[in-house]
Amino acid sequence: MIEVGSFVIMGDWDKTVTPKGKLRIVMPPLGHLDGAGWSPFTQAGILGLTKHLRPGMSFAEIGAGSGILCVAARLLGAKHIVATELDRDALAIIPQVFAANNITEDYEIIDGTFPNSHVDLALCSISTVFGKENAVKINAKHILNVDNDGKLVTIK
């Protein structure tokens, strides 16, 4: 179990009771992919969502990897989530992660970098400069970026 703020991240095999007051993210085995919650980049993204995402907002995870930030966004009340990703292995695992977390509707998985439609909040965890350099291509009202040091930066 990994605790990150108001979340706990647990493997799909872990039947431990979710601690009171915590939101549970279920992760199936990811093989060689990152994004299971151990990374300081993922943790910074999750903590950033708790501060910036409000129920009813739409959310895009740019460079989604496992899609864990989309899951966190949905648990926080995001109405529509978008996972963008270029890596074929990650694109294959995102539906499994969504299914493990009972996400069955109001989502998109995009084989590409940018969301096709406007979202309220986007979070990039690709590199320090990615979000800044590509802000005009990210169709979002607000953009957050996890930099190379694992710190969250507000771009827009």
- Burial call 39-67: b when 16+ CB within 10 Å, e when fewer: bebbbbbbbbbeebbeeebbbbbbbbbbb
**What is the CB neighbour count within 10 angstroms for residue 111?**
10
DSSP letter for each residue of 92-123: HHHHHHHHHTT--SSEEEEESSS-SS-EEEEE
- Does residue 80 fall inside a structural domain? yes
User: Residue 41's domain is classified under what CATH number?
Assistant: 3.40.50.150
Q: What percent of the chain has pLDDT over 70?
A: 97
- Does residue 45 fall inside a structural domain? yes
> Domain count of the chain?
1
pLDDT given at position 31: 66
Domain coverage including residue 94: 34-154
CB 68 within 8 A of CB 97: yes
Task: Report the predicted TM-score, pTM, of the whole model to 2 decimal places.
Answer: 0.94
19, 23, 114, 121, 135 from 132: Cα distances, Å: 37, 31, 14, 15, 5
2-56: pLDDT as tens digits: 999 999 999 999 999 999 999 999 999 876 566 677 888 899 999 999 999 999 9
CB 95 within 8 A of CB 109: yes
The amino acid at residue 37 is G
- Does residue 19 fall inside a structural domain? no
Mean pLDDT score, 94-122: 96
- Does residue 6 fall inside a structural domain? no
Whether 62 shows a pLDDT value over 90: the answer reads yes
- Does residue 66 fall inside a structural domain? yes
- Does residue 83 fall inside a structural domain? yes
- Does residue 62 fall inside a structural domain? yes
- Does residue 145 fall inside a structural domain? yes
Task: For the chain, give the number of residues.
Answer: 156
